[in-house]
Amino acid sequence: MGIDLPIVWACIIAFGLMMYVIMDGFDLGIGILFPFIKDRTDRDVMVNTVAPVWDGNETWLVLGGAGLMAAFPLAYSVILTALYIPLALMLLGLIWRGVAFEFRFKADEHHKPFWDIAFMGGSIVATFFQGVSLGAFLNGFEVEGVRYMGGAMDWLTPFALFTGLGLLVAYALLGATWLIIKTEGPLHDRLVTLARPLMLVLLAVIAVVSLWTPLAHQQVADRWFTLPNLFFFAPVPGLVALTAFLLLRSLRTGDPGPAPFVLTLFLLFLGYTGLGISMFPYIIPPAITLREAAAPPESMGFALVGALLIIPVILAYTAWSYYVFRGKVRAGDGYH
């Protein structure tokens, strides 16, 4: 077969994770924004903007896990073992938040404040540990042959804690810009005001990560700062600067519409691309490549058939459900 299966699968998993970050990112962001928006009606509106779509968003996370196991069993086992604690806390945060999401609406009146706190806490815990896991992944893993040799707490580094906080900012901005599309009135204006500082902090986070990784890892520095790579990759930071500028400008207008959200997505996509450039072709940095961690072609090929048949259906369905729920959400417009 002329298909390079490890690369195809790496693209599918990278696409799945990107979809996850984009789609679950903004609905986690809504929970993260709860401390800034105290009014109950406003909170209900915020939650209602994602109510019809959020659990489809988590589809991509499950797909990512199963896809990684099928295509790169070695990476699945090493990375997940190394990140056992942060990933378990992330999953529990997601479960907690998912249940809180529903019971915010379904519980008795006097239990509702509790579920608000649970929803906020779950969103923050899930996002923070997702960011920590990302940071720990970028830091790399101590591996000998196919065994993870590091300790249970190796993930706990200043860099990982920083990426944890960074992801909170990123998702908060995604959430705020999503809500700018979906809301109106005072809540809308409040979110526009919130989005500006969030955007600046996120830019600072991106800058710090962009400097920290090449300084800490020679491999990353070599990838970016040698010729001719420097010329190929120079557009990435350039585009980040341009996107950030456009984003700030769009936030000056009264109702910026979907522009800030789309620009934030593009910003995160650029960040994601940057990380891809830094990491390729390693799947367990700094030692094991995609090809070394790949499952036998018999496994990758077999699973690929299903993925290629079904992922387009999931995408089509997702697009359709966003289309159905387009437009602003007003107070009292429950889906409940």
Partner 1 sequence: MFGLTALELARIQFGFTISFHIIFPAITIGLASYLAVLEGLWLWKKDTVYRDLYHFWSKIFAVNFAMGVVSGLVMAYQFGTNWSYFSSFAGSVTGPLLAYEVLTAFFLEAGFLGVMLFGWHRVGPGLHFFATVMVAIGTLISATWILASNSWMQTPQGIEIINDVVVPVNWFEVIFNPSFPYRLAHMVTAAFLATALFVGASGAWHLLKGDNNPRVCKMFSMAMWMLLVVAPLQAFIGDQHGLNTLKHQPAKIAAMEGHWENTPGEGVPLILFAWPDQAAEKNHFEIAIPNLSSLILTHSLDGQFPGLKAFAPEDRPPVAVVFWTFRIMVGLGLLMITLGLWAVWRRWRGTLYEGRWLHRFALVMGPTGLIAILAGWYTTEIGRQPWVIYGVMRTKDAVSDHSALTMSVMLIVFIIAYFFVFGIGTSYMLKLVGKGPEAGEEDPATDNDDPGQSPARPLSAAPDLNKEA
Binding site residues, partner 1, CB under 8 A = 51-56, 58-59, 61-63, 65-71, 73-74, 76-81, 83-85, 87-89, 91-92, 94-96, 98-99, 102-103, 105-109, 146-148, 152, 295-296, 298-299, 302-303, 306-307, 310-311, 313-314, 317-318, 321, 324-325, 335-336
Burial 64-76 (b: 16+ CB within 10 A, else e): bbebbbbbbbbbb
C-beta closer to partner 1: residue 231 or 323: 323
Nearer to partner 1, 21 or 51 (CB): 51
Which element (helix H / strand E) includes 322?
A: helix 297-324
If phi > 0 it is left, if psi is from -120 to 50 it is alpha, else beta; for residue 147 that is: beta
Judged by CB, which is closer to partner 1: 76, or 171? 76
Residue 136 to residue 11: CA distance in whole angstroms = 21
Q: What is the SS3 assignment for 233-261?
A: HCHHHHHHHHHHHHHHHHCCCCCCCCHHH
Minimum CB separation of residue 67 from partner 1 in Å reads: 6
Provide, rounded to whole angstroms, the least separation between the CB of residue 280 and partner 1: 22
Of the two residues 227 and 313, which places its CB atom closer to partner 1 in the complex? 313
Least Å distance, CB 81 to partner 1, is: 4
Nearer to partner 1, 109 or 226 (CB): 109
Is 118 or 173 the residue whose CB approaches partner 1 more closely? 118
Q: What is each CA distance from 8 to 291, 296, 311, in whole angstroms?
A: 11, 14, 14
List the end-to-end C-alpha distance of the chain, in Å, as a whole number.
51
Shortest Å distance, C-beta 98 to partner 1: 6
Which DSSP string do the residues of 46-69 spell out, in sequence order?
HHHHHTTTHHHHTHHHHHHHHHHH
Q: What's the min distance (Å) between Cβ of 151 and partner 1?
A: 8
State the minimum distance, in angstroms, from the CB of residue 77 to partner 1. Answer: 4
- Helix intervals (H) in 140-234: 158-182, 185-216, 218-225, 229-233
CB of 87 to partner 1, least distance (A): 6
Nearer to partner 1, 128 or 224 (CB): 128
Query: Which contacts of 236-239 are long-range, i.e. CB under 8 A and separated by 24 or more positions?
Result: 236/270, 236/273, 236/274, 236/277, 237/210, 237/274, 239/270
